[in-house]
Amino acid sequence: MKGVAILGATGSIGRSALAVLDQHPDRFRAVALTAHRSGEALLALAHRYRPSLAVIADGEVPAGADSTPTEWASGRQALLDAATHPDADVVLNALVGAAGLEPTLAALRAGKRVALANKESLVCGGELVMEAARQGGGELVPVDSEHSAILQCLQGSRAGDVRRLVITASGGPFRGWSAEMLAAATPADALRHPTWDMGAKITIDSATLANKALEVIEAHFLFGVDYARIEAVVHPQSIIHSMVEMVDGSVLAQMGFPTMEIPILYALSYPERLPYECRRFDPVAAGTLTFEPVRADRFPAFALGVEAGRRGGTAPAVYNAAKEVAVQHFLSGRLGFPGIAEAIAETLERCPAAAAQSLQDVLEADARARRTAEEFVQRLAPC
């Protein structure tokens, strides 16, 4: 029986993770569940899963919490307590954004396995995260379907076997849109993802292809592969979740109908495989599989992100912070779709990369980038 702490239990990944736990009550137990502000939703989960600890990261413990057998706490430190809970063997980090970095570091330093959905942890603090795992004896296992696919393709291979990682992208809701259409794209358009049902932030990141840049950076740190050997390709059917080309020319791919439950289960059970009831793969129903190059000219947020990754230091954290600010303003209707990449480009220019040697370095770069992106939005669309 493994104890599982789910950070972000009320979100899209959090709910999928609980569905995974439902199928294996004899193998996994939810020991800690957290939410940002959704007290009522967390209360319902506490009644159902009876965790030892429930945390509201930013807000009040909901009325009725004392009707559960659970200890309740609120605030940032309580979130870190959930990430290091003594009964947790695995910490699933399904928080959204840069706020996920500190809990990842805390869990790894406490020697936990971190099942990582929060890709921003590696984007903002890749070197710190890898160092925390080395120092604390913790282990990172990816939840992102692309990185889970790569990890699965790498089983049985040796260092030096890999020539190239190929990360697939659905292309998002705006694949094939012209520059004129993109200029008029609304949040509702961007939230209509063709193949995946996800939280709002990652859905917008898929529309700009920023998500793919985050995944390139994530793959660089997770698998220790340099940027020159990581490529992205558009695969609109989202059946092949990613590929690995070996030095002998063999290409391994992992495939299936899109669902996050399989990669979540794999991250919890790795290296073991557990049975799971879900829609079985049918190659005939999957139909034709197609591939296209990424349109970096149409989706500049992709190239900006990969370039920030190559630059290293605080550049990816600056990229991510500017993007988070711009996405919020796009969702609120203040910024047009092309404005997201413009805000990122200007922020990267005005916040030069520095060394990211501590969490403090990253948090300062993040805060400065947020201010700079806010100034850009204020200039472009004064309120």
Binding site for ligand NDP (CB under 6 A): 8-14, 35-38, 57, 79, 94-96, 99, 117-120, 144, 196, 198-199, 201-202, 260
Q: Half-sphere exposure (CA, 13 Å, Cβ side) for 104? A: 33
Query: 42 or 294, CB closer to ligand NDP?
Result: 42
Q: How far is the CB of 153 from ligand NDP (least distance, A)?
A: 18
The total number of residues shown for the chain amounts to 383
Minimum CB distance to ligand NDP smaller for 202 or for 346? 202
Distance of closest approach, residue 7 Cβ to ligand NDP, in angstroms: 7
Helices 210-223 and 200-208 meet at what angle, rounded to 10? 100
- State in angstroms the smallest separation of the CB of 148 from ligand NDP: 9
Measured CA distances, 375 to 229, 317, 327, 343, 362 (Å): 36, 18, 14, 9, 20
CB of 81 to ligand NDP, least distance (A): 13
CB of residue 176 to ligand NDP, shortest distance in Å: 23
User: In the bound complex, what is the minimum distance in angstroms from residue 383's beta carbon to ligand NDP?
Assistant: 23
Q: Which is nearer to ligand NDP, 11 or 126 (CB)?
A: 11
The residue sitting closest to ligand NDP, measured at its beta carbon, is 11
For 383, residues 6+ apart whose C-beta sits below 8 A from its C-beta are 334
Q: Outline where DSSP puts E strands in 276-336.
A: 292-293
Of 14 and 172, the one with the shorter C-beta distance to ligand NDP is: 14
Decide whether 32 or 245 has the Cβ nearer to ligand NDP. Answer: 32
CB of 147 to ligand NDP, least distance (A): 9
Residue 160 C-beta: closest distance to ligand NDP, Å = 29
d(CA 361, CA 299): 29
Bond from prior residue into 271 cis (ω within 30 degrees of 0): yes
* Comparison of 200 and 289: residue with beta carbon closer to ligand NDP: 200
Comparison of 119 and 329: residue with beta carbon closer to ligand NDP: 119
Q: Could you tell me which residues are beta bridge partners of residue 251?
A: 245
Round to whole Å and give the CA distance between 14 and 7. 7
Which amino acid makes up residue 375? E
Q: How much is the CA Rg of the chain, to the nearest whole Å?
A: 20
Contact 210/198 with Cβ under 8 angstroms? no
Q: Which is nearer to ligand NDP, 29 or 119 (CB)?
A: 119
User: Residue 24: helix, strand or coil by DSSP?
Assistant: coil
CA dist 182 and 104 (Å) reads 35
What is the token pair recorded at 331? 């969702």
> In angstroms, what CA-CA distances link 47 with 40, 50, 125, 131, 163?
11, 6, 35, 37, 49
